[in-house]
């Protein structure tokens, strides 16, 4: 119905449920759009111009507009809410927890441990997402320009490495990126010991923290 809106930022707000609302003025009309926190943080100040890709939804007879930074982000949102039991809040939480390529990779690789880091997404829900979307996203990512990284521990030790790093307080995004770097750039073998993966990942994350 509405592919995108281009207008002036009139305001950005968030309520107690951590839902971010962008008020966008387009040709003298103010539109309220629910947007991911990541997009809300990237928006210009009031008065700045922005283009937002939209998804229109009617819930309990109430029309709602959702806004996204790219068509790909909107497409993935639509894939997520097509899964039984996944509402818009959970879909946006997933988009905020992981970068888009990482989220696509996690679903295709059935990486439940990373998916459940999103607020409101439990293990069974994450497993359902992977089951229902894996084949769809394999085809979609080719046209969307995403790739599935090959770096990282072997499946047999991946979960233990991730759980340890997450327990140490690192975010899902930090863990995913660190393991990719350790596998691709440092070249640690996939079947290396769990302790080696953890040690190298922490070393990378620590150096990133120092450099920033």
pLDDT digits (tens, 9 = 90+) for 59-117: 778 889 999 999 999 999 999 999 998 999 999 999 999 988 889 888 988 889 889 99
If you average pLDDT over residues 22-33, what whole number do you get?
95
Smallest CA-to-CA distance from 36 within 119, 126, 123 is with 119
As given in the structure block, the two tokens for residue 208 are 């990133």
Cβ burial of 176 (10 Å; 0-12, 13-18, 19+) is buried
**Of 209, 212, 180, 211, the residue nearest 197 (C-alpha):** 180
Report the C-alpha gap between 108 and 158 in whole angstroms. Answer: 15
Taking the C-alpha atoms of residue 127 and residue 113, their distance in angstroms, rounded to an integer, is 10
pTM of the shown model: 0.78
Single out the residue of 137, 127, 136, 33 nearest to residue 84, CA to CA: 127
Q: Specify the residue for token string 């459940």.
A: 116
Mean pLDDT across the chain: 88
The pLDDT of residue 55 is 96
Pairing of strands 49-59, 4-14: antiparallel
Contacts of 113 (CB under 8 A, 6+ apart): 158, 159, 162, 163, 166
Report the run of H or E that residue 143 belongs to, with start and end.
helix 123-144
* CA count, 13 A, side-chain hemisphere, 100: 21
- Sort 156 into a burial class: Cβ within 10 Å, 0-12 / 13-18 / 19+: exposed
Own/partner pairs, 75-78, CB within 8 angstroms, 24+ separation: 75/140, 75/144, 76/100, 76/103, 76/104
pLDDT at 176: 81
Contacts of 81 (CB under 8 A, 6+ apart): 87, 88, 91
Question: Tens of pLDDT along 146-191?
Answer: 655 556 787 778 888 888 998 899 888 888 888 878 887 777 888 8
């Amino acid at each position: 119905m509405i592919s995108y809106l281009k207008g002036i930022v009139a305001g950005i707000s968030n309520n107690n449920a951590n839902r971010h609302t962008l008020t966008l003025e387009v040709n003298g009309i103010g539109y309220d759009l629910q947007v991911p926190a990541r997009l809300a943080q990237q928006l210009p100040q009031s008065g700045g111009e922005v283009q937002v890709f939209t998804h229109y939804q009617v819930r309990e007879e109430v029309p709602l507009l959702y806004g996204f930074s790219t068509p790909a982000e909107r497409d993935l949102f639509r894939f997520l809410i097509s899964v039984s039991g996944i509402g818009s809040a959970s879909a946006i939480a997933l988009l905020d927890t992981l970068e888009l390529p990482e989220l696509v990779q996690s679903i295709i690789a059935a990486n439940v441990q990373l998916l459940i880091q999103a607020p409101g997404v439990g293990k069974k829900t994450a497993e359902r997402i992977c089951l229902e979307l894996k084949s769809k996203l394999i085809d979609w990512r080719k046209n969307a320009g995403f790739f599935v990284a090959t770096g990282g521990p072997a499946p047999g030790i991946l979960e233990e490495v991730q759980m340890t790093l997450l327990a140490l307080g690192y975010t899902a995004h930090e863990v995913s990126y660190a393991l990719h770097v350790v596998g691709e750039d440092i070249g640690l073998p996939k079947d290396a010991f769990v302790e080696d993966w953890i040690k190298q990942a922490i070393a990378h994350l620590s150096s990133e923290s120092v450099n920033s």
